[in-house]
């Protein structure tokens, strides 16, 4: 009985173990099949890359204007700085910025201040001038007496005419020297009189125009203009009816400019209006600025009645370098560049979305459109490289 029970239990154990093994084998085979299906599906999806469709466009007829831009500012053609001819203190100012003035109009009054040392110097200068005049007078009197004596000898034919002429020449030189010393002494005395502080010096405008700036105030000191000092500026006057554009242009464009060209000025402070100008000066020498060579240009601003432009406005000048009307063109963004500076575009063949390279020859460009001289026809469809792509489902 016990032996039969043991045999039955052993058989049950073996049956259970076999079932477990079958289950494990089934699960393993199922996992392998599932993995294989997933791998096949993954590679199929990966290998089926989406089809890309490129946008195309055809050449078109248009007008192309090639321009360059020069940056600069609007300035008066004639700007005058009025400076005093004497040093002193500003006693009165009769003008202010923005006020029109006429040449010869009094704009300021200077009270001349002279110190004691200056007065002593003035006295020494006058004494020196008087001494020089007295010396010149004595020499003149001696020359006069000698000339009269030689005239008597000439009348008696005791001397020759040539020898007498020598005394006449000396007399004339002494006379001129006396007159010069008298004039110089008079000037010195007049200068001392002005420097004595008993009179005020009035400063006059030297040109017609608008007062742009008055950098001084009443009570301030000013320095005279002389050979060693440019002096203090009392006011700046400019003719605001005659304005010029002064700017700079890159060396790569300066060779295409010539005097008389028309410019279109855009002023930053007046964005709603375009001013016309005529090029009248191109600098013969360039200057290096930030690694580039720039040439100065100037153009006459053509103002219309009612236009009011302030000095110092920043402005940009559009200069037309070349113009072509009704030419075949393409977008410059469709160009591609190959070896040896070759230029080509990709043109669609008879098969849709199949492109081939085509070399072309280009002309002028305005930065957006470029002229096509040869290599394309109006019916060609050009690939746009940077156009948005989409998947074909």
pLDDT at 160: 83
pLDDT at 136: 85
Q: Which helix (H) or strand (E) holds 166?
A: helix 161-195
pLDDT at 392: 44
pLDDT at 52: 65
- C-alpha to C-alpha distance for 25 and 133, rounded to whole angstroms: 141
Take residue 141 and report the two structure tokens written for it.
Answer: 């009197």
- C-alpha to C-alpha distance for 90 and 244, rounded to whole angstroms: 33
Which of 39-53, 333-347, 379-393 ranks highest by mean pLDDT? 333-347
Does residue 16 register a pLDDT over 80? no
Rounded average pLDDT over 341-346: 82
- C-alpha to C-alpha distance for 322 and 343, rounded to whole angstroms: 22
Does residue 48 register a pLDDT over 60? no
Residue 244 banded pLDDT, cuts 50, 70, 90: very high
pLDDT at 6: 52
With a pLDDT cut of 90, the percent of the chain lying above it is: 18
The answer to which of 49-53, 194-198, 292-296, 301-305 has the lowest mean pLDDT is 194-198
Residue 113 banded pLDDT, cuts 50, 70, 90: low
- Cα of 82 vs its chain's centroid, Å: 27
Cα dihedral sign, 389-376-336-252: negative
Residue 116 banded pLDDT, cuts 50, 70, 90: very low
Q: What are phi and psi of 333, to 5 degrees?
A: -70, -15
Take residue 303 and report the two structure tokens written for it.
Answer: 């103002």
Cα dihedral sign, 329-331-334-338: positive
Using alpha carbons, select from 318, 312, 300 the residue that is nearest to residue 241: 300
pLDDT at 393: 41
Take residue 18 and report the two structure tokens written for it.
Answer: 């076999």
pLDDT at 254: 87
- Note the pLDDT tens digit of each residue in 191-242: 665 555 444 578 889 889 999 999 999 998 888 887 778 889 999 999 888 8
| Long-range CB pairs of 384-388, under 8 A, 24+ apart, other chains included | 384/54, 384/55, 384/56, 384/57, 384/331, 384/333, 384/334, 385/54, 385/333, 385/334, 385/336, 385/346, 386/333, 387/54, 387/55, 388/55
Does residue 340 register a pLDDT over 90? no
Domains of the chain, start order: 69-76+240-324 (2.40.30.170), 81-237 (2.40.50.100), 325-392 (2.40.420)
- Note the pLDDT tens digit of each residue in 134-181: 888 888 888 888 888 888 888 888 888 888 888 888 888 888 888 888
Does residue 7 register a pLDDT over 70? no
Rounded average pLDDT over 358-373: 87
Using alpha carbons, select from 107, 131, 129, 106 the residue that is nearest to residue 192: 129
pLDDT at 315: 92
Using alpha carbons, select from 298, 329, 309, 252 the residue that is nearest to residue 63: 329
- C-alpha to C-alpha distance for 223 and 56, rounded to whole angstroms: 74
**∠ at Cα 166 (164, 169), nearest 5°?**
115
- Note the pLDDT tens digit of each residue in 247-298: 998 888 888 888 888 998 999 888 888 999 999 999 999 999 888 899 999 9
With a pLDDT cut of 70, the percent of the chain lying above it is: 85
Q: How many other C-beta atoms can be found within 10 angstroms of the C-beta atom of residue 29?
A: 10
Beta bridge partners of 243: 76
Alpha-carbon distances of 65 from 92, 229, 262, 320, 365, rounded to whole Å: 57, 52, 14, 7, 7
The answer to which of 39-48, 284-293, 329-338 has the lowest mean pLDDT is 39-48
- C-alpha to C-alpha distance for 245 and 301, rounded to whole angstroms: 6
Q: Which helix (H) or strand (E) holds 3?
A: helix 2-47
Q: How many other C-beta atoms can be found within 10 angstroms of the C-beta atom of residue 74?
A: 23
- C-alpha to C-alpha distance for 363 and 370, rounded to whole angstroms: 7
């Amino acid at each position: 009985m016990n032996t039969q029970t043991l045999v039955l239990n052993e058989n049950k154990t073996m049956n259970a173990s076999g079932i477990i093994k079958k289950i494990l084998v089934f699960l393993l085979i199922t996992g392998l099949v599932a993995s294989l299906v997933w791998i096949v599906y993954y590679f199929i999806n990966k290998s089926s890359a989406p089809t890309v469709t490129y946008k195309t466009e055809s050449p078109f007829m248009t007008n192309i204007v090639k321009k360059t831009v020069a940056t600069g500012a609007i300035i008066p053609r004639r700007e005058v700085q009025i400076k005093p001819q004497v040093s002193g203190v500003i006693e009165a100012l009769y003008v202010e910025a923005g006020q029109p003035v006429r040449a010869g109009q009094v704009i300021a009054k200077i009270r001349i201040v002279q110190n004691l040392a200056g007065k002593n110097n003035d006295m020494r200068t006058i004494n020196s001038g008087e001494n020089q005049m007295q010396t010149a007078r004595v020499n003149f009197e001696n020359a006069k007496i000698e000339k009269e004596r030689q005239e008597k000898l000439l009348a008696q034919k005791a001397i020759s005419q040539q020898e007498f002429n020598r005394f006449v020449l000396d007399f004339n030189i002494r006379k001129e020297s006396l007159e010069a010393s008298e004039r110089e002494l008079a000037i010195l005395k007049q200068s001392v009189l002005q420097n004595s502080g008993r009179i005020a010096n009035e400063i006059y405008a030297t040109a017609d125009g608008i007062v742009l700036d008055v950098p001084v105030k009443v009570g301030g000191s000013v320095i005279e203009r002389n050979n060693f000092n440019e002096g203090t500026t009392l006011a700046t006057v400019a003719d605001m009816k005659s304005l010029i554009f002064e700017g700079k242009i890159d060396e790569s464009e300066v060779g295409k400019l010539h005097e008389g060209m028309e410019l279109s000025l855009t002023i930053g402070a007046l964005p709603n209006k375009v001013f016309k100008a005529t090029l009248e000066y191109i600098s013969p020498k360039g200057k290096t600025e930030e690694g580039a060579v720039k040439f100065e240009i100037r153009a006459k601003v053509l103002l219309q009645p009612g236009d009011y432009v302030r000095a110092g406005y920043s402005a940009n000048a559009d200069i037309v370098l070349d113009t072509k009307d009704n030419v075949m063109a393409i977008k410059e963004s469709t160009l591609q560049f190959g070896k040896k500076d070759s230029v080509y575009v990709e043109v669609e063949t008879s098969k849709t979305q199949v492109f081939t390279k085509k070399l072309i020859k280009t002309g002028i460009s305005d930065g957006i459109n470029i002229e096509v001289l040869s290599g394309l026809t109006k019916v060609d469809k050009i690939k746009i490289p940077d156009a948005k792509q989409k998947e074909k489902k």
